[in-house]
Chain A
Amino acid sequence: MRKLIVFILVGFVLSCQKKDNVDTQIEQKTVNEIDFTLTPKHFDIGVISKSNHDSIHDFSFDILNNTTDSVYLGKVDVSCGCVNVIYKSNVIPPGEHGIVSGNINISNQYGHLSKAIFVNYDVDGLIVLRIKGDVKD
């Protein structure tokens, strides 16, 4: 029985440590948006009522490459499963435009929305696109 109590104690402490270790692996990145012009700066889907049957709303971002070099847009990640990005990896030549589009499903959203789209470029660059809006009953 003594071993059992020790086992519970050890198990509890280990379970606590496990999550802590996972969380320390959160990657912190520096955003560099100076080299780009984003249109719009953040996509505003406005005030949406849930009573409307259409729960999927499209968005589109235009990324203008202001640098003198071509930029390779890589992996795209999102902060919410509700955002679906329709996007193909491509190269944006200097002074040219790239498009990142997709849609957001608001069926499970409520209140103020502020969702981020993380666009990796080149080796370690990161552009953050944001979708904003308000979902009401």
Chain B
Amino acid sequence: MRNIILLFVNKILAVVFLCSAFVKGSEFNSTTVTVSAYLDIFNLNFGSEEVLLTTVFFVCLELLIGVFLLFNFFNQYTKWVCLIICVFFLILTYDVASNNLLTDCGCFGSMWMIDPWTSFYKNIILVLLSILSIVFRTIKSERKHNGFIVFLLFLWIGLFCVRALLYPAMIDASFYRIGDDVSVVRYGAPIFEIDNLNNQNTPLNVIESSDIDYIDGEEIFIFFNRRMDIADIDFGIYRNAISNLNKDHSILFVTTYVSDEVAFIKSHKNLYVIDASLFNAIFPSEFGLLRLNNGVITGKMDLNMFSMKLVDLLCVDLTDILSIYTIDNQIVFWIISFLFLYFCFVLEEYKDGPLKVCNYMMNRFVKIQKQFIRKAM
């Protein structure tokens, strides 16, 4: 009975942590925004890179706890870390819920929005399960871990994080998606309205219709920058990106805020400003790339500091990026990930089997090598 309860509790915790990490990893940029919102609540002024690292840390931690609970690795430590994390989030969600600071806890990203009070009750259950898993812990439940499997799992977690950093959300949950016409009013959502900072006529064919600027004609790219002053980021990233762009495309720089100190940027005739809520309605990230054709979104990608720097470093043509980041590539990654976890599980469950296979293959290899040397002699 004791063992059954332990198995049941462990696996529930593992599933919760893995699901949470998978969802957060699949829309990593959106998670970064949530983490940033939590940091803002406590007046922690982290830069974009620090927020990014904090997000990576939490996603990795959830993956590690989930995987280790699933495979029964390092039970003694994993369960205590799990309890500490659950208690930490219990206090955090109580503070957020009681003071009505956020509308969504961000536990499972934007794919499954949970209000802070529900999240608080969920965390109470998780804390209770964590206590149960420690109370019912037996010496037998501690499994001798296979170093090779642990290495493989760490490797997979590393790849998972790189994928999360590079790829935009698997499912676009925003108000403005590829194929949408930005001029259509979405009831209750921010209107797609961009204002030229300098009130100058742009080389673009901007139609003024009922005071809303809609973009007409040729394809254009728009860079968005959210939450931070455009001066805080390396403007070289933008310059290099532009130099790699097809010259046939016109570019608009769009940001939510420009400070008075950045005169050289303010004088840019293609600089536009938008409302931060609109930015959120388009991109769940710090930066974004949008391609419009007659007001219809034909390409879209959200970026973070890491992917933006990589674009800068590799001097990738942004037209290529929009075609590379397809949903098919992401689905392939998830399938490979699950197959990999399954492979690790099989290796772990049938430890002797694969080792025998390896030994056999090694012996065969040595024999072939000897035969080859004899023939050569």
Binding site for B on A (CB under 8 A): 1-2, 4-5, 7-9, 11-12, 15-16, 18-20, 23, 26-31, 33, 41-42, 77-80, 109-116, 118, 126, 128, 130, 132, 134, 136
Which of B110, B112, B275, B334 is packed against the most chain A CB atoms within 10 Å? B275
* Distance in angstroms between the alpha carbons of A132 and B197 in the assembled complex: 13
Provided the pairs A16-B111, A41-B211 are in contact, do residues A114 and B190 lie with their beta carbons within 8 angstroms? Answer: yes
Which 8 A-B residue pairings sit nearest by Cβ, starting from the closest?
A: A111-B257, A112-B273, A114-B275, A111-B256, A27-B187, A19-B111, A15-B111, A79-B190
On chain A, the residues within 8 Å of B259 by CB distance are: 136
Query: A5 contacts B338, CB within 8 Å?
Result: yes
Provided the pairs A9-B338, A19-B171, A28-B184 are in contact, do residues A114 and B191 lie with their beta carbons within 8 angstroms? Answer: yes
On chain B, the residues within 8 Å of A5 by CB distance are: 338, 341-342, 345
Task: Name 17 extra pairs, CB < 8 A, besides A8-B19, A111-B276.
Answer: A8-B22, A15-B111, A16-B170, A18-B112, A19-B111, A19-B112, A20-B171, A23-B174, A28-B184, A28-B186, A28-B187, A42-B211, A78-B188, A79-B277, A110-B256, A110-B276, A115-B277
On chain B, the residues within 8 Å of A77 by CB distance are: 187-188
Query: B185 contacts A29, CB within 8 Å?
Result: yes
Interface check B251, CB cutoff 8 A: no
Query: A19 contacts B185, CB within 8 Å?
Result: no
Query: B257 contacts A110, CB within 8 Å?
Result: yes
Binding site for A on B (CB under 8 A): 11, 14-15, 18-19, 22-23, 26, 70, 108, 110-113, 170-171, 173-175, 184-191, 193, 195, 210-211, 255-257, 259, 273-278, 334, 338, 341-342, 345, 349
Provided the pairs A16-B111, A113-B275, A114-B274 are in contact, do residues A26 and B186 lie with their beta carbons within 8 angstroms? Answer: yes
On chain B, the residues within 8 Å of A9 by CB distance are: 338
On chain B, the residues within 8 Å of A136 by CB distance are: 259
> 5 A–B contact pairs at CB < 8 A?
A41-B211, A111-B257, A111-B275, A112-B275, A126-B187
* Distance in angstroms between the alpha carbons of A104 and B311 in the assembled complex: 40
Which of A27, A31, A80, A116 is packed against the most chain B CB atoms within 10 Å? A116
A114 to chain B, nearest CB (A): 4
Query: B210 contacts A33, CB within 8 Å?
Result: yes
* Distance in angstroms between the alpha carbons of A125 and B277 in the assembled complex: 25
* Distance in angstroms between the alpha carbons of A66 and B278 in the assembled complex: 31
B59 to chain A, nearest CB (A): 15
Which of the residues B15, B170, B210, B275 comes within 8 Å of A7, measured between beta carbons?
A: B15
Give A16's nearest chain B residue, CB to CB: B171
Give B342's nearest chain A residue, CB to CB: A5
Give B22's nearest chain A residue, CB to CB: A12
Query: B110 contacts A26, CB within 8 Å?
Result: no
On chain A, the residues within 8 Å of B349 by CB distance are: 1
A59 to chain B, nearest CB (A): 15
Which of the residues A19, A28, A30, A114 comes within 8 Å of B195, measured between beta carbons?
A: A114
Give B103's nearest chain A residue, CB to CB: A81
B25 to chain A, nearest CB (A): 11
A34 to chain B, nearest CB (A): 9
* Distance in angstroms between the alpha carbons of A12 and B173 in the assembled complex: 15
Which of the residues B112, B185, B191, B256 comes within 8 Å of A112, measured between beta carbons?
A: B256
* Distance in angstroms between the alpha carbons of A15 and B18 in the assembled complex: 13
Provided the pairs A5-B341, A30-B185, A128-B185 are in contact, do residues A116 and B111 lie with their beta carbons within 8 angstroms? Answer: no
On chain A, the residues within 8 Å of B175 by CB distance are: 23, 26
* Distance in angstroms between the alpha carbons of A137 and B342 in the assembled complex: 53
Query: A112 contacts B195, CB within 8 Å?
Result: yes
* Distance in angstroms between the alpha carbons of A29 and B18 in the assembled complex: 40
B334 to chain A, nearest CB (A): 8
* Distance in angstroms between the alpha carbons of A4 and B18 in the assembled complex: 11
Provided the pairs A12-B23, A28-B184 are in contact, do residues A116 and B190 lie with their beta carbons within 8 angstroms? Answer: yes
On chain A, the residues within 8 Å of B19 by CB distance are: 8, 11-12, 15
